[in-house]
């Protein structure tokens, strides 16, 4: 079984191969093989820190003897001009891995920053902010790490670790109740079953069928409040999740309406990358 570190290294190696191809011709033709460099990763925009371990591994795959010091713990806020990490190693390795490391670091800090904004917006309500599967293909593991660093919670990792019955499932299964019952018959005892509902009738049907989580999609906070009250009358009330067009301006209204959690696709599908640079200079070491 592949370890989490092994899986991360394999993904980073694939991404490096995409960028480097047969070789980094600029670096190989201009920088002496023996050259060494030291560098600093610098935040040029305010951000919540995420992704430094990923960036470090990107460099270390090309230079196993890399020296690295984190200057900003994950989840902390960094101001413009602040150092995130310092490194020293083979100059060619640092140059070749630079773009991949920065791409991932900038994306992850951007996701963590957006997540923190949503988390702060619902502070004191007990509502959790969730990510979704609306991630960049191939980058989900990094996107989920960034959401967690920003104070959010991870939803299902993929199609394999949780049942989530949505509109097309309902139609093809013959209704939300039928879909839940069939999923319950097949699912392991510990696997949660969530069902999306779009009407009060579907809500009552999902609760009666024993859904663990009810996803109220594309409804107003007023409707979320009314439907949450209905669902919580059940002997085993489901978790209430709200989703659909949630913005930073509206998220607290959904939390105050009674949603236990709010899923926000914009955290990962509409990323505004943080501005981070790598400043390198010759090292005599």
Judge if 206 and 78 occupy the same domain.
no
CATH number at residue 188: 3.20.20.70
pLDDT for the residue 259: 98
pLDDT confidence band for 242 (50 / 70 / 90): very high
Q: Give burial (CB, 10 Å; 0-12/13-18/19+) of 123.
A: exposed
Q: What is the CATH number of the domain that holds 91?
A: 3.90.1170.20
pLDDT digits (tens, 9 = 90+) for 56-73: 999 999 999 999 999 999
Measured CA to CA, the distance from residue 179 to residue 95 in angstroms comes to 53
For strands 77-78 and 47-48, give the pairing: antiparallel
Give yes or no for residue 1 having a pLDDT over 90. Answer: no
32/164 same-domain check:
no
The 10s digit of each residue's pLDDT in 15-36 is 999 999 999 999 999 999 999 9
| Percentage of the chain modeled with pLDDT above 70 | 99
Percent of the chain with pLDDT over 90: 96
Residues 6+ apart with CB under 8 A from 70: 52, 84, 85
Assess contact for 266 and 114: CB atoms under 8 A.
yes
Q: How confident is the model at residue 4 (pLDDT cuts 50, 70, 90)?
A: confident
What pLDDT is recorded for position 183? 97
Give the per-residue pLDDT at 251.
98
The pTM for the full model equals 0.95
The answer on 152 and 76 residing in a single domain is: no
271's torsion region: left (phi>0), alpha (psi -120 to 50) or beta?
A: beta
- Looking at the structure, tell me whether residues 11 and 133 fall in a common domain: no
Task: Average the pLDDT over each of 2-6, 90-94, 196-200 and give the range with the smallest value.
Answer: 2-6
Q: How far is CA 212 from CA 164, 187, 257, in A?
A: 10, 13, 19
Do 135 and 264 fall within a single domain? yes
Contacts of 183 (CB under 8 A, 6+ apart): 163, 165, 193
Domain, as residue range, for 262: 119-269
135 alpha carbon, distance to own chain's centre: 8
| Segment 127-136 mean pLDDT | 97
**Residue pLDDT, tens place only, 169-184:** 999 999 999 999 999 9
Say whether both 173 and 258 belong to one domain. yes
Q: What's the chain's average pLDDT?
A: 96
H-run or E-run covering 84? strand 83-90
* Residue 235 confidence (pLDDT) above 70: yes
Residues labelled catalytic: 99, 134, 166, 196, 217
Question: Taking a C-beta distance cutoff of 8 angstroms, is the pair 111, 147 a contact?
Answer: yes
For 39, phi then psi, to 5°, come to -145, 160
Res 285 pLDDT > 70? no
CA-wise closest residue to 75 among 43, 104, 106, 109: 109
- Mean pLDDT in residue range 143-151: 98
Both 147 and 32 in one domain: the answer is no
Q: Are residues 126 and 77 in the same domain?
A: no
Residue 2 reports pLDDT greater than 60? no
């Amino acid at each position: 079984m592949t370890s989490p570190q092994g899986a991360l290294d394999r993904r980073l190696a694939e991404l490096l191969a995409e960028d480097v191809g047969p070789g980094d011709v600029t670096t190989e033709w201009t920088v002496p093989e023996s050259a060494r460099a030291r560098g600093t990763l610098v935040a040029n925009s305010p951000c919540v820190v995420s992704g430094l371990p990923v960036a470090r591994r990107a460099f270390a795959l090309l230079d196993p003897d890399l020296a690295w010091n984190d200057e900003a713990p994950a989840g902390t806020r960094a101001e413009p001009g602040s150092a995130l990490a310092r490194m020293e190693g083979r100059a060619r390795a640092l140059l070749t891995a630079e773009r991949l490391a920065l791409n991932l670091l900038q994306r992850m800090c951007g996701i963590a920053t957006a997540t923190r904004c949503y988390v702060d917006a619902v502070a004191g309500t007990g509502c959790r902010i969730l990510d979704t599967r609306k991630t960049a293909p191939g980058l989900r593991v990094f996107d989920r790490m960034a959401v967690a660093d920003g104070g959010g919670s991870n939803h299902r990792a993929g199609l394999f670790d949780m049942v989530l019955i949505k509109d097309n499932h309902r139609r093809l299964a013959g209704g939300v109740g039928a879909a839940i019952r069939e999923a319950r018959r097949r699912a392991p005892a510990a696997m949660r079953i969530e069902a999306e509902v779009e009407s009060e009738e579907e809500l009552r049907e999902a609760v009666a069928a024993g859904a663990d989580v009810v996803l109220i999609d594309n409804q107003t906070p007023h409707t979320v409040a009314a439907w949450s009250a209905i669902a919580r009358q059940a002997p085993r009330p489901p978790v209430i999740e709200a989703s659909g067009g949630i913005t930073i301006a509206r998220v607290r209204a959904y939390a105050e309406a009674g949603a236990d959690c709010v899923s926000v696709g914009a955290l990962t599908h509409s990323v505004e990358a943080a501005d981070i640079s790598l400043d390198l200079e010759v090292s005599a070491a």
